[in-house]
Amino acid sequence: MLVTIGEFARRSHLSLKALRLYERQGLLRPASVDPSNGYRRYHEDQLADARLIALLRRLDLPLAEVARVMAADDRAAVLAAYWARVEQRFAVQRDLAAHLHVVLTGGKGLLEMYEVQLRDVPEQVVLTEQRHVLQPELVEWMTAAMSRVEKAAAEAGGVSGAPFAIYHGEVNEDGDGPVEVCVPIAAQPAPSTVPARVEPAHREAYVRLKNREVEYPQILSAYDAVAAWIKEQGLTEAGSPREVYWADCDAAGPDDEVCDIAWPVK
């Protein structure tokens, strides 16, 4: 049964303006358009889709995302995937807001955000690659460098521990480190194609971060928290800070623990 656009708008909870927009976008076209006067009529069977579109828009889905849901064979799966991305973005923004609060209050509440712990790290032989790099290029370079060094480690008998990156200098839009990617190996001698060195045994203070907490710049709060804790405990920094990677950030969920921010101490 066909109904007028006014009746369809009333029953679908969509405005006339919205219906005309969705027609132009190809989301919801009238079942018929009178060529003489342009009157639009919709079929009652279209009400379910119209009401779904109205609900999706109440979730603030962009029209492109609404179209993706409506065109999918498994609409529930597409919506679930989109909402997971939204929740991850909100989680990252929440952590950024916490970081900004610390910045704006001069460090207030910093130590309450993280649980800092101590551990002993044994001596390790590591393969390394080092470079001066600014923050905007950091992730791209580090991903490629880690892949190269891990490949060399596999040829040397395999990776024997968690890879890590040492920041020998500050890395931001102006500071370029340098940064050293390190992959522990068990076998010796090391391959000649990649530099190797001994990372001395040491004690370090660290915090473990969830995947959503490693975003820049909020990750800086974790560094600040470890540094503040070291000072509060009467310890002394005994080396450069580093990030220790326990999991693949790309494969992990937003709340999975993936990385430690660590600082050698004495």
Contact, 265 vs 237, CB < 8 A? yes
Closest CA to 150 of 179, 191, 178: 191
- Report helix, strand or coil for 209: strand
Last residue of a domain, one of 48, 71, 94: 71
Higher pLDDT, 109 or 67: 67
Query: Which domain does 8 fall in, by range?
Result: 2-71
Query: Is 181 a domain residue?
Result: yes
Residue tagged 């970081």 (tokens):
99
Distance CA 46, CA 26 (A): 14
Distance CA 80, CA 91 (A): 16
Query: Is 157 a domain residue?
Result: yes
Name the percent of the chain in helix, strand, coil, to the closest 5: 40, 25, 35
Same domain, 33 and 120: no
Confidence label for 207 from pLDDT (cuts 50, 70 and 90): very high
Contact, 125 vs 196, CB < 8 A? yes
- Predicted structure pTM score: 0.69
Query: Is 96 a domain residue?
Result: no
Please give the pLDDT value at position 122. Answer: 95
What confidence tens digit (pLDDT) does each residue in 145-156 have?
999 999 999 888
Point out which residues pair with 33 in neighbouring strands.
40
Q: For the chain, how many structural domains are there in total?
A: 2
| Helices 75-104/219-232 angle, 10° precision | 40
What confidence tens digit (pLDDT) does each residue in 212-221 have?
888 888 888 8
Closest CA to 159 of 122, 142, 184, 181: 184
Same domain, 162 and 254: yes
Confidence label for 189 from pLDDT (cuts 50, 70 and 90): low
Contact, 20 vs 28, CB < 8 A? no
CATH number reported for the structural domain that contains residue 24 in this entry: 1.10.1660.10
H or E element, residue 149: helix 135-155
Closest CA to 247 of 238, 236, 237, 256: 256
> Average of pLDDT values for 229-245?
96
Last residue of a domain, one of 18, 40, 71: 71
Please give the pLDDT value at position 106. Answer: 79
Same domain, 65 and 185: no
Same domain, 139 and 230: yes
Residues of the chain above pLDDT 90, percent: 67
Same domain, 147 and 234: yes
Confidence label for 188 from pLDDT (cuts 50, 70 and 90): low
